[in-house]
Amino acid sequence: MENFKELFEPLKLKNNEIKNRVLMGSMHTGLEEAKDGYKKMATFYGQRAKAGVGLIVTGGIAPNFAGRTQPFASQLSFPWQVKHHKVITDEVHKHGGKICMQILHAGRYAYHPLNIGPSNIKSPITPFKPFGLTKFGIKKTIWDFANCASLAQKAGYDGIEIMGSEGYLLNQFICKRTNKRTDEYGGSFENRIRFIKELITSVRKKVSSDFIIIYRLSMLDLVEGGSTWEEVVELGKIVEGLGVDIINTGIGWHEARVPTIATMVPRAAFSWITEKFKPHVSIPVVTTNRINDPQVANDIIKSNQADMISMARPFLADPELLLKAKEGRSDEINTCIGCNQACLDHIFQNKICSCLVNPKACHEIEFSNSNLSSNSNKNIAVIGAGPSGLSFAIEAAGLGHRVTVYEKRDQIGGQFNIAKEIPGKEEFHETIRYFKTMIKKLNINLVLNTSVDYEFLKSSDHESFVFSTGIEPRMPKIQGIESDKVLNYAEVLYDKKEVGQKVAIIGAGGIGFDTAEFLAHNPNHKPTSLSKEEFFHEWGVDTTYKNAGALKSKEQIKSHREITLIQRKTSKHGKNLGKTTGWIHRQSLKDKGIKMIGGVEYKEINSSGLVIEIDGNQKTLEVDNIIICAGQTSVNKLYNEFDEKESRPSYLIGGALKASEIDAKRAIDEGVRLAYKI
C-alpha cells in the first residue's frame, strides 16, 4: 500500500516548522470580494486545513489601490481591515493549519486605468497603459508592501508570500522587457532588482523573525526579454540573504504563449527547473504546476527535486486529497483534470471560482446549509451513467439514499469516454476512475448493458427517478447527409470508425476542435499524449536555458491528415472555448496546419466531397469523410413518457434536460445539486 512517507515529513524552517511538504498554492477565488466572503473563505480554507494541508497560501491581496488586479479587488492597507482576515486565520489555526497571505501587486497587469509599472509600456493582455512609477512612487509602494505584511501578521497569518513572478509588478521590474528605466532602478541587473531588494528588506524589518516570508521567484519567464538563468540564480541567492524563508517556483508570465497549467501540459512538466535551481540556495524550495496526484508529488520529494509541492486547483477538486492519500485511499481522490473551466475561467468572467468535478468548492456554506430532504433514505433509480447521473448517484448515496444506476452501454462515463480519447485530455480517465471507486464504496447498485423502458420502470419499486439519458449528435439537414462518407463525432471518437486522409469537419465548437486534434494526431485511432520533451519542442521551451526567458523556436508537429474545420459563423473559430484555454486549442490546430473556414453555407454532400458556398462562390472540398460536430439534441423520450403516465417523482438533468451547450461542468453541477434537493 502506498504511504507517501516523504510527503508527510515535517519541514523545518529557520524559525518555524511546517507539518508536511504540501503547500496549497495561491488561487484567487472571487470570495475575496464577495458578500460574506471572509466567512466563506474561512470555511473553504478551514476545510482544507482540517484535511491536513501543511501550509495554505491565500489568493493575492493588493498592498495598495494601484496594485489591485481590478478596481474592486481585495486590498489590505488599513488597520480596520485586519478583523476580516482574522476570521480566516482563526478557522485555519483551529484545525492545526498554517496560512500565509499572498501580497500581489498587479503592476501593468491591473485591469484599471490607474495602473502603474516600472515604465509606461502597455501589456498585451490589458487595455490600460500604465504610469511609469516615480522614485517617490517606488518608495511609497515599498512602504505599502511592508505595511501590508505587518497588518497580515496582526491578522494572525503565519507569513506572507511576495508575488514576484507571472509577470506582475516585481517581475516587471526585474526584466528588460518591461523595465526601460534610466535611473538606479533600471538598466543593469543590479539596478533592475534594487526594487525587490529594498522591498524585502523593508518587509523583513516590519515582521517578527518567525513570520514566514515566501518569495515566488519567476524561474521561467517564457517571454522574450525575460530573465537569464544566471539572473534567476543570482536573485534567488539575494532574496535568501535578505531573510526569505521559502522560495516558490513561478512559471511563465500571463502574456506568455506557452501553456503552463492547462490539461495538455504533462504532469509535473516544470519540476526540472526547481530541481536545477535548488542546489543554489539552502532554504526550502517549492515546485509547482500540473501536480495533481500524491504519487507524483511524493516522487518529487523523494528524488530531492524540491522540498515542497504546491498544489492549488487539486484542492478545489478534492479538499480531502491529502487525508485520502495519508489513509491509503488515494483511489477515492477526485482528481483535478486541469480543465480550468470552473476555476480560472470563472475568475476571468468575474464569477466565484469553483470546480468542474466538485461544484461544492468555494460554495461550502451553501451546500452545508442546504435543506436536505427529511427522508434521506429513498430508493432512487438513475437512468444513464454519464457525468450528471453519476454525480447525482454518488452525492445522493453519500447522503444516505439507496441508489440504482441503469446504463445501456457496457461501461460508465458517457461523454467522458469521448473526452478521454483526445490527446492531451487523458486526465478524464481519472474522473472515471473516481466514479468507479465511489460506486463501489457507496454500494451503488450499477446495472450495465440494460436499456430500461417505461414498463420496466413502472414495475420497479423505486420511489424517485432521475433521468440523465444524455444527448445524441445533431445531424444538420444537408443534401446527401446520409452518404457513407458522413460520420458523426461519436462514431469517430467512441466507435472508432475508419476515417480517410482528407477530412472536413462540420462545426467548430469544443467537439469540432477535439475531433480535429484527435484526427490530426494519429491515423490509426490510437490517441497519443505528448511526453514532456515533445511538449517543450512543440511549444518552444528551451530546457537548456541558453536564451533569456527560456524560449526557443517551436518544432511543430504536422497533422497526419488534411483537415478542414468549418463553421457558418464568421467569428473566430472556437470563440466559445474556455477563456484561459481556447487560445491553446486554436494555436495547437494552427501549428498542425489545420485549415479553418468560416462564413460557409453547406450546399451538398456528393461523391466528390462537401460542396460549400462562401460569399456567393461555390466550391467542393474533395474529402474522404465529413465528420459532423454540429452540437447535440436531448435524449428525453423516456422521461417524457414516464412523467406523463406516472405520479412518482421524476427529474431530468444534464444534456437530457438541455442539450444546447451542455458541458461536463453543467452536467455535474446539476447532478450534485439535485442530490441535495430530492
Active-site residue list: 168
Q: Which of 235, 629 has the CB closer to ligand NAP?
A: 629
For 303-343, where are the alpha helices, taking DSSP H only? 314-317, 321-326
Query: Which range, of 1-9, 220-228, 497-505, 511-519, touches ligand NAP by CB under 6 A?
Result: 511-519
By CB under 6 A, the count of residues binding ligand SF4 is 14
Out of 577, 610, 612, 667, the only residue in the binding site for ligand NAP (CB under 6 A) is 577
114 within 8 A of 72, measured Cβ to Cβ: no
Nearest to 60 by CA among 143, 141, 146, 162: 162
Of 116-175, which residues contact ligand SF4 (CB under 6 A)? Answer: none
289 within 8 A of 165, measured Cβ to Cβ: no
Of 474-503, which residues contact ligand NAP (CB under 6 A)? Answer: 476
Cα-based angle 101, 107, 110 (whole degrees, multiple of 5): 90
| Minimal distance, residue 598 CB to ligand NAP, in Å | 7
| Minimal distance, residue 625 CB to ligand NAP, in Å | 16
Tell me which of ligand NAP, ligand SF4, none is bound by residue 356, counting a contact when its beta carbon lies within the kind-specific cut-off of 5 to 8 angstroms.
ligand SF4
Q: Does 24 bind ligand SF4 (CB under 6 A)?
A: no
Q: Does 568 bind ligand NAP (CB under 6 A)?
A: yes
Nearest to 193 by CA among 118, 130, 250: 118
Q: Which of 153, 632 has the CB closer to ligand NAP?
A: 632
Out of 24, 56, 342, 653, the only residue in the binding site for ligand SF4 (CB under 6 A) is 342
Out of 337, 444, 504, 548, the only residue in the binding site for ligand SF4 (CB under 6 A) is 337
Out of 108, 204, 278, 313, the only residue in the binding site for ligand SF4 (CB under 6 A) is 313
Q: What is the b/e burial string over 198-232, where b = at least 16 CB atoms within 10 angstroms of the residue's CB?
A: bbbebbbebbeeebbbbbbbbbbbbbeebbbbebb
Nearest to 478 by CA among 575, 614, 600, 635: 600
Residue 189, φ and ψ in degrees, nearest 5 = -55, -45
Of 214-243, which residues contact ligand SF4 (CB under 6 A)? Answer: none
Tell me which H or E stretch contains 586: helix 582-591
Q: Does 630 bind ligand NAP (CB under 6 A)?
A: yes
Query: Which range, of 155-163, 460-468, 517-525, 630-638, touches ligand NAP by CB under 6 A?
Result: 630-638
Tell me which of ligand NAP, ligand SF4, none is bound by residue 53, counting a contact when its beta carbon lies within the kind-specific cut-off of 5 to 8 angstroms.
none
Tell me which of ligand SF4, ligand NAP, none is bound by residue 132, counting a contact when its beta carbon lies within the kind-specific cut-off of 5 to 8 angstroms.
none
125 within 8 A of 255, measured Cβ to Cβ: yes
Whole-number Å distance between alpha carbons of 629 and 513: 9
Three-class DSSP category at 72: coil
Whole-number Å distance between alpha carbons of 160 and 143: 15
Sign of the alpha-carbon torsion through 83, 88, 91, 92: negative
Three-class DSSP category at 502: strand
Tell me which of ligand NAP, ligand SF4, none is bound by residue 567, counting a contact when its beta carbon lies within the kind-specific cut-off of 5 to 8 angstroms.
ligand NAP
Query: Which range, of 137-145, 336-344, 412-420, 555-563, touches ligand SF4 by CB under 6 A?
Result: 336-344
128 within 8 A of 115, measured Cβ to Cβ: yes
| Minimal distance, residue 532 CB to ligand NAP, in Å | 22
Task: Give the three cell numbers for residue 609.
Answer: 466531397
Whole-number Å distance between alpha carbons of 354 and 352: 6
Whole-number Å distance between alpha carbons of 251 and 245: 20
- Give the CA radius of gyration of the chain: 27
Tell me which of ligand SF4, ligand NAP, none is bound by residue 578, counting a contact when its beta carbon lies within the kind-specific cut-off of 5 to 8 angstroms.
ligand NAP
Q: Does 160 bind ligand NAP (CB under 6 A)?
A: no
Of 610-629, which residues contact ligand NAP (CB under 6 A)? Answer: 629
Tell me which of ligand NAP, ligand SF4, none is bound by residue 313, counting a contact when its beta carbon lies within the kind-specific cut-off of 5 to 8 angstroms.
ligand SF4
Out of 59, 338, 414, 671, the only residue in the binding site for ligand SF4 (CB under 6 A) is 338
| Minimal distance, residue 579 CB to ligand SF4, in Å | 13
Nearest residue to ligand NAP, scored by beta-carbon proximity: 509
Out of 490, 506, 589, 678, the only residue in the binding site for ligand NAP (CB under 6 A) is 506
Nearest to 591 by CA among 556, 552, 561, 560: 556
206 within 8 A of 150, measured Cβ to Cβ: yes
Q: What is the b/e burial string over 649-677, where b = at least 16 CB atoms within 10 angstroms of the residue's CB?
A: ebbbbbbbbbbeebbbbbbbbbbbbbbbe
Q: Does 510 bind ligand NAP (CB under 6 A)?
A: yes
Q: Does 340 bind ligand NAP (CB under 6 A)?
A: no
581 within 8 A of 340, measured Cβ to Cβ: yes
Q: Does 316 bind ligand SF4 (CB under 6 A)?
A: yes
Query: Which range, of 216-224, 293-301, 480-488, 656-664, touches ligand NAP by CB under 6 A?
Result: 656-664
507 within 8 A of 224, measured Cβ to Cβ: no
Number of H helices, E strands in the chain: 23, 27
Nearest to 640 by CA among 622, 629, 652, 658: 652
| Minimal distance, residue 412 CB to ligand NAP, in Å | 19
| Minimal distance, residue 315 CB to ligand SF4, in Å | 8
By CB under 6 A, the count of residues binding ligand NAP is 22
Q: Which of 273, 630 has the CB closer to ligand NAP?
A: 630
| Minimal distance, residue 663 CB to ligand NAP, in Å | 4
Whole-number Å distance between alpha carbons of 85 and 674: 33
Out of 356, 380, 487, 589, the only residue in the binding site for ligand SF4 (CB under 6 A) is 356
Q: Does 540 bind ligand NAP (CB under 6 A)?
A: no
Tell me which of ligand NAP, ligand SF4, none is bound by residue 508, counting a contact when its beta carbon lies within the kind-specific cut-off of 5 to 8 angstroms.
ligand NAP
Helix axes 428-441, 387-398, angle to 10 degrees: 40
Side chain identity at 239, as an amino acid letter?
A: V
Whole-number Å distance between alpha carbons of 535 and 31: 34
Tell me which of ligand NAP, ligand SF4, none is bound by residue 336, counting a contact when its beta carbon lies within the kind-specific cut-off of 5 to 8 angstroms.
ligand SF4
Tell me which of ligand NAP, ligand SF4, none is bound by residue 629, counting a contact when its beta carbon lies within the kind-specific cut-off of 5 to 8 angstroms.
ligand NAP
Q: Beta-carbon neighbour count of residue 593 at 10 Å?
A: 14
| Minimal distance, residue 43 CB to ligand SF4, in Å | 18
Q: Does 340 bind ligand SF4 (CB under 6 A)?
A: yes
Tell me which of ligand SF4, ligand NAP, none is bound by residue 510, counting a contact when its beta carbon lies within the kind-specific cut-off of 5 to 8 angstroms.
ligand NAP
Q: Which of 27, 466 has the CB closer to ligand SF4?
A: 27
Out of 11, 51, 163, 343, the only residue in the binding site for ligand SF4 (CB under 6 A) is 343
Which positions touch ligand SF4 (CB under 6 A)?
Answer: 313, 316-317, 336-343, 355-357
Which positions touch ligand NAP (CB under 6 A)?
Answer: 476, 506-512, 514, 567-569, 576-578, 629-632, 661-663
